[in-house]
Structure 1
Amino acid sequence: MSASRPNILWYCTDQQRFDTIRALGNQHIATPNLDRMKNRGVAFRQTYAQSPVCTPSRASFLTGRYPSSTHVHRNGCSHFPQSETLVTKLLADAGYDCGLVGKLHLASAASGMEPRVDDGYRLFEWSHHPMPGADSDDNAYHQWLLNEKNVDPKQLYASVSGFCCAGVPAEVHQTTWATELALRFIDEKRSQPWLLSINVFDPHPPFDPPRSHLDRYDASTLPPPLFRETDLERQNAFRHVSQQSTVAVDPNGSDPEILHDVAQADTAMIPPTNFDGRQVKAAYYAMIELIDEQFGRIVEHLESTGQLENTLIVFHSDHGELLGDHGLLYKGCRFFEGLVHVPLMFMWKGRFVEDLESDALVELVDIAPTLLEAAGCEVPDSMQGQSLMGILTGQKQPDYHKSIVVSEFNDALGSAKEYQPTHATMSFDGRMKVIVYHDLNLGEIFDLEKDPGEFSNLWDSPELTDVKPELLVRHMDAVMATSWAGIERVGRF
Structure 2
Amino acid sequence: MDKKPHIIIFNPDEMRSDCLAHLGQNKAAKTPFLDEFARTEGVSFRNAFCQNTVCVPSRCSFFTGLYPHVGGHRTMQHLLRSHESSLFSELKDAGYYVWMNTRNDLIAGQIPGLMEKHATEIYYGEECPKPPGPEKKDFRGQMGDKNYYSHYEGRLLTDANGIHYSDDDGVVDAAIERIFHRVNDQPLCMFLGLMYPHTPYAVEEPYFSAIDRSLLPRRAAAGRDKPEMESALKNLMAMDSYTEQDWDELRACYLGMCMKVDEQFRRLCDALKEAEIYDDCAIFFLSDHGDYAGDFDLPEKSQNTFEDCLTKVPLLIKPPKGELVDAGISDSLVELVDFYATVMDYANTAPSHDHFGRTLKPVLRDRSIKLRDYVFCEGGRMPWETQADEYHPAAGSSGVIPKTSMYWPRQTAQLNADAHCKGTMIRDYFYKYVHRSNGRHEFYDLQSDPLEENNVYGESEHEAKTLELKLRLLDWYQQTCDVVPRDCDRRLSDRMMWAKIKQDCPPHLEKKVWEMIRDGKGMAYIRAQLTAGADE
- With normalisation by structure 1, the TM-score equals 0.82
Name the residue aligned to 1:253: 243
Find 1:295's aligned residue among 258, 265, 276: 265
Per-residue CA deviation, residues 284-309 of structure 1 (Å, 9 max, x unaligned), is: 01101111111101101111221111
Name the residue aligned to 1:469: 467
1:65-464 correspondence runs (5 A):
65-77=66-78, 79-106=79-106, 116-117=114-115, 119-126=117-124, 140=125, 143-145=126-128, 151-152=129-130, 159=137, 161-162=139-140, 163-164=151-152, 165-167=154-156, 169=158, 170-189=163-182, 190-227=184-221, 231=222, 234-235=225-226, 237-239=228-230, 253-254=243-244, 276-332=246-302, 333-350=304-321, 351-394=323-366, 398-411=368-381, 413-414=389-390, 415-419=410-414, 420-421=416-417, 422-438=421-437, 440-464=438-462
Query: How far did residue 34 of structure 1 move?
Result: 0.7
Aligned length: 440
Query: How far did residue 108 of structure 1 move?
Result: 6.9
How far apart, in 1, do the equivalents of 2:235 and 2:107 lie?
23
Aligned CA distance change for structure 1 residues 312 and 248 (closer, same or farther; 3 Å): farther
Per-residue CA deviation, residues 163-204 of structure 1 (Å, 9 max, x unaligned), is: 321235444112211211110111123211101000111101
Aligned CA distance change for structure 1 residues 349 and 93 (closer, same or farther; 3 Å): closer
Conserved in 2, the CA contact under 8 Å of 1:13 and 1:199? yes
Name the residue aligned to 1:12: 11
Task: Write the letter of the residue equivalent to 1:88.
Answer: F
SS in 2 for 1:166: strand
How far apart, in 2, do the equivalents of 1:119 and 1:405 lie?
32
SS in 1 for 2:101: strand
Query: How far did residue 156 of structure 1 move?
Result: 5.2
Residue identity (%)? 25
How far apart, in 2, do the equivalents of 1:211 and 1:458 lie?
43
Query: How far did residue 88 of structure 1 move?
Result: 0.8
SS in 1 for 2:434: strand
How far apart, in 1, do the equivalents of 2:487 and 2:194 lie?
41
Query: How far did residue 391 of structure 1 move?
Result: 1.9
Conserved in 2, the CA contact under 8 Å of 1:65 and 1:385? yes
Give the helix-richer structure, 1 or 2: 2
Q: Find the structure with the greater CA-based Rg.
A: 2
How far apart, in 1, do the equivalents of 2:91 and 2:275 lie?
24
Query: How far did residue 27 of structure 1 move?
Result: 2.8
- With normalisation by structure 2, the TM-score equals 0.75
How far apart, in 2, do the equivalents of 1:10 and 1:489 lie?
30
Per-residue CA deviation, residues 268-325 of structure 1 (Å, 9 max, x unaligned), is: xxxxxxxx22111110011011111111011011112211110110001000011111
Structure 2, unaligned runs of 5 or more: 141-150, 382-387, 391-409, 490-536
Query: How far did residue 118 of structure 1 move?
Result: 5.4
Conserved in 2, the CA contact under 8 Å of 1:252 and 1:278? no
SS in 2 for 1:37: helix
Name the residue aligned to 1:263: none
Name the residue aligned to 1:43: 44
How far apart, in 2, do the equivalents of 1:283 and 1:336 lie?
21
Task: Write the letter of the residue equivalent to 1:473.
Answer: L
Aligned CA distance change for structure 1 residues 115 and 76 (closer, same or farther; 3 Å): farther
Task: Write the letter of the residue equivalent to 1:92.
Answer: K
Query: How far did residue 463 of structure 1 move?
Result: 1.5
How far apart, in 2, do the equivalents of 1:251 and 1:116 lie?
47
SS in 2 for 1:427: strand
Task: Write the letter of the residue equivalent to 1:95.
Answer: G
Conserved in 1, the CA contact under 8 Å of 2:133 and 2:156? no
Query: How far did residue 480 of structure 1 move?
Result: 3.5
Aligned CA distance change for structure 1 residues 206 and 114 (closer, same or farther; 3 Å): farther
Task: Write the letter of the residue equivalent to 2:206.
Answer: S
Structure 1, unaligned runs of 5 or more: 127-139, 146-150, 256-275
Name the residue aligned to 1:262: none
Conserved in 1, the CA contact under 8 Å of 2:12 and 2:287? yes
Conserved in 1, the CA contact under 8 Å of 2:342 and 2:359? yes
SS in 2 for 1:369: helix
Task: Write the letter of the residue equivalent to 2:344.
Answer: L
Conserved in 2, the CA contact under 8 Å of 1:248 and 1:327? no
Conserved in 1, the CA contact under 8 Å of 2:426 and 2:434? yes
How far apart, in 2, do the equivalents of 1:216 and 1:392 lie?
32
How far apart, in 1, do the equivalents of 2:288 and 2:335 lie?
11
Aligned CA distance change for structure 1 residues 390 and 381 (closer, same or farther; 3 Å): farther
- The CA RMSD over aligned residues, in Å, is 2.9
Conserved in 1, the CA contact under 8 Å of 2:4 and 2:187? yes
Name the residue aligned to 1:61: 62
Query: How far did residue 252 of structure 1 move?
Result: 7.3
Aligned CA distance change for structure 1 residues 489 and 90 (closer, same or farther; 3 Å): closer
How far apart, in 2, do the equivalents of 1:104 and 1:303 lie?
26
How far apart, in 2, do the equivalents of 1:461 and 1:194 lie?
53
Aligned CA distance change for structure 1 residues 224 and 480 (closer, same or farther; 3 Å): same
Query: How far did residue 107 of structure 1 move?
Result: 5.6
Query: How far did residue 487 of structure 1 move?
Result: 3.2
